[in-house]
Amino acid sequence: MLRNYLTITLRNLWKHKLFSAINIFGLASGMMVCLLAIIHIKGAFDYDNFHPNRHRVYRVLTDVATNEHGVVAHASSPMPLAGALQQDYAFVEQTARVVRVYGEFAEGHKRFNLLSWAVDPGFFTIFSGFQLAQGQAAAEPRTVVLTRETAEKFFGTANPIGRVLQHDELGPLTVTGVLADNPTHSHLKFDLLLSLKTPGNPAYRHLFEDWRQYAVGYTYVMLKPGTMEKALSDALSAINKQTIQGLQFTREKGYSFRTQALTNVSPGLEELAMSTYERQIGGLLVEIGVGLLTLLLAAFNYINLTLARSLSRAREVGIRKVSGALRWQLMGQFMAESVVLSLLALGLAYVMLQFVKPMPFVQQWLIGGVQWDETLWIVFILFSIVTGVLAGIVPARVLSGFQPAQVLRSQTGLRVLRGISLRKSLIVAQFAISMIALIFLLTMGRQQHYMATADYGFRRESVLNIPLNGIPYQRLTHELSQLSGVERVSATSDLFGSFGDSQVFRRQRATSDSMMAFTFAVDHQFVPNMNLSLLAGQNMPVPAADTAGRFVLINEEAVNAFHLGSAREAVGQSLWLNDSTELQIAGVLKDFRFTSFAWSIKPLVLRYQPAQFRYLNVGVAKGAGEAVLADAKAVLKKLTPYEPFTGQWYDDFLYQRHNHREDLDFLSLLTGLALSIACLGLLGMVTYTTETRTKEVGIRKVMGADITQIVALLSWDFVKLLLIASAIALPLGALAGMAFLINFAYHVSIGIETLGVCFLVMLLLGGLTIGWRTYRAASANPVKSLRAE
């Protein structure tokens, strides 16, 4: 029987080649998106599976009870906890604390801001999957281990063991080892691991002894073999009762501890404050939702086209029922056809996946680092079979349920609410979903283009940004200032358009009126070079004395935030930094956008700090860009002969930072697939309709109707469907676009330039699909049409 089902299925697929091709391509497109989501989800469950002791490792979470009668779960925990567990409980084999370290690491003239953690020696026992390719672990004070990529950044192909890195706060750090590449992802991402025994800033050492500080770092515990998790939970409850008594909390009522197995860290089933880099279940559900939505469109096509051919298949059903076939046998036949079609689509989906895999977005966010094994293939095949069953069950039930007497008289109309056919409803749904996706994509693209090209309020044209990379800024400034075509050279700690640094300032030294402000280190040439406007006061003084660093420039928003009165009244007043440094306001700048468009303008403080300078901004005269770029390369080649030139025009920096082509390319792919599925489904419906009306077309032509009238007659029903889909999609698409734009303080609007373009694109694609097929039918020879049955 199965062989008979397969034979009939292949004959039907070959007989109706166009419908088969449309269904296979549509299902393959939806499956390809689902396969990407399945691979990513598998990768999320594979996190940290390369650690041999992972089933005995737990992270301690802290549930903090707030004064507002709520509970906030933290992935972090107090730092004394690890010592208490290790010392007082024999079933604990090893503990380790993990603390984030900030700041730049330098070696010679190379400086990098790395993702780094300070860890206890027990870290390398608990997470033994982080294997060393060479050297030994960072167990002693002032030692570090590097990843392979970090070692190459600093030392190239030279042996890094024994070399020294410099950190502004921690001092010299000796490299003792290089880590091998991880086979899969980990919830702990890093470029560098250093020993937690390394002496740090004394001002922060009390944080490692204070039980009230639960947001400093993370605590990991490895239990001895055979120990149950409940033993650790009981120990945490006992420690909590002992330590929380007598503690004075200011912003919370207290806290409690609980365990989280390492095998349950990813995907994260709850939102944790101070979370690490594990995948969250919410994001995975969104991804699989997008994939299933795309697949649903393809399933609509299959249902649509199968029901569209219900007349011919219904007669087949009637004849087979008269011959003695049972309903379950007919359903088996139709389900077999659907499953075979789905398996063929799986093959095409895998081929399409090979073309999509190299895309940067796909590699970085979806499938990079995921191990392919037989489990993945089994999931793919099972998913394909389930897809075929679900897509075929509706047509199978409908077609197998026809009564022989009814279908042999061709009374097979399918109707849903108010006479709208099911097939037409599906077409409306397809185009509505595709149009919503198109509106969302266009909105995202316009917002990114706006952020990349907008007027920030500072000079962005004809400015060449050159990283110092350890070169004394005065020397490089002098060399570049001599070049023909250079107007000014200024220095800065970071580039506007990025996030910069932030610090806490106070109006008075002993008061609690603190305010966070963004800070940039700049020199006296920066304001005129970047065309910033002074509203009051004067520019930063020329650094002729050590007191130059006491004078700062602030923006209008800082004047308002610190309640300094007017811009003129603010000049000459003082701000306190870290309760120890008094800064005097030299001038007030007109507000401009210096950071992300997601935020409104924030308080800004510009200060002269030569040690913080990282870039030079070279202002170039109009028309001299190419010459200055060539000369600047020559200067850098002379000063750093073994380093590549990394200068970049400010325009290019802002464009690349805010115009994420990889994201748009991937979203364009998804939208293109949805549109193509919808258009192919429409093409199949129009083809079937024109074929069933072949005789009518021939009679109308014989009676004198011209091609235009016939095209209009055949097309109008489908054009109405496009108009209905647009009426549904336009408001929903606008809502989806606004849901994205609400994340930005400064954003584009959604008007005729977005909705009108999407409407015209949808109408054009649908119109071409309809017009091409109806024109072929209308221009056919009426003699052949009248002969057609």
pLDDT at 420: 47
Mean pLDDT of all residues in 237-264: 83
Dihedral (Cα; 589, 594, 599, 605), 10-degree rounding = -50
Per-residue pLDDT of 506-519, as tens digits, reads 887 766 667 888 88
pLDDT top residue among 223 and 680? 223
Hey, which of 264-273, 296-305, 481-490 has the most confident mean pLDDT?
481-490
pLDDT exceeds cutoff 70 at 99: yes
Q: pLDDT-based confidence at 657, cuts 50/70/90? A: confident
pLDDT exceeds cutoff 60 at 316: yes
pLDDT at 412: 41
Q: pLDDT-based confidence at 162, cuts 50/70/90? A: very high
Percentage of the chain modeled with pLDDT above 90: 28
Q: CA 60, 66, 68: angle at the middle one, nearest 5?
A: 150
Q: pLDDT-based confidence at 545, cuts 50/70/90? A: low
pLDDT at 713: 79
Dihedral (Cα; 250, 251, 253, 256), 10-degree rounding = -110
Q: Write out the two tokens for 522.
A: 């700049």
**Range 676-695 burial, b when 16+ CB lie within 10 A, else e:** bbbbbbbbbbbbbbbeebbe
Closest CA to 314 of 423, 389, 388, 398: 398
What are the extents of the domains in the chain? 1-47+280-414, 54-264, 420-456+659-789, 470-645
pLDDT at 291: 75
pLDDT at 408: 55
pLDDT exceeds cutoff 90 at 24: no
pLDDT at 463: 94
User: How many Å apart are CA 143 and CA 137, to the nearest integer?
Assistant: 8
Q: pLDDT-based confidence at 96, cuts 50/70/90? A: very high
- Range from 252-256, 390-394, 585-589, 683-687 carrying the lowest mean pLDDT: 683-687
Per-residue pLDDT of 562-601, as tens digits, reads 888 898 988 989 888 876 788 899 999 999 998 878 888 8
Average pLDDT in the chain = 82
pLDDT top residue among 665 and 264? 264
Q: How distant, in Å, are the alpha carbons of 4, 306, 379 from that of 337?
A: 11, 11, 21
pLDDT exceeds cutoff 90 at 505: no
pLDDT top residue among 358 and 756? 756
pLDDT at 376: 79
pLDDT top residue among 674 and 280? 280
pLDDT at 419: 40
Mean pLDDT of all residues in 470-492: 90
Mean pLDDT of all residues in 301-327: 67
pLDDT top residue among 527 and 774? 527
pLDDT exceeds cutoff 60 at 547: no
Q: pLDDT-based confidence at 33, cuts 50/70/90? A: confident
User: How many Å apart are CA 23 and CA 666, to the nearest integer?
Assistant: 23
User: How many Å apart are CA 360 and CA 669, to the nearest integer?
Assistant: 13
Q: Which contacts of 377-386 are long-range, i.e. CB under 8 A and separated by 24 or more positions?
A: 379/38, 379/42, 380/35, 380/38, 380/346, 380/350, 381/343, 381/346, 383/31, 383/34, 383/35, 383/38, 384/31, 384/342, 384/343, 384/345, 384/346, 385/339, 385/342, 385/343
pLDDT exceeds cutoff 90 at 423: no
pLDDT exceeds cutoff 80 at 298: no
pLDDT at 516: 82
User: How many Å apart are CA 281 and CA 446, to the nearest integer?
Assistant: 30
Q: Write out the two tokens for 341.
A: 């079609």
Per-residue pLDDT of 591-630, as tens digits, reads 999 887 888 888 999 999 888 888 999 999 998 989 999 9
Q: pLDDT-based confidence at 193, cuts 50/70/90? A: very high
pLDDT exceeds cutoff 90 at 334: no
Give the three-state DSSP class for 646: coil
Q: How many CB atoms lie within 10 A of CB 161?
A: 17
Mean pLDDT of all residues in 367-388: 79
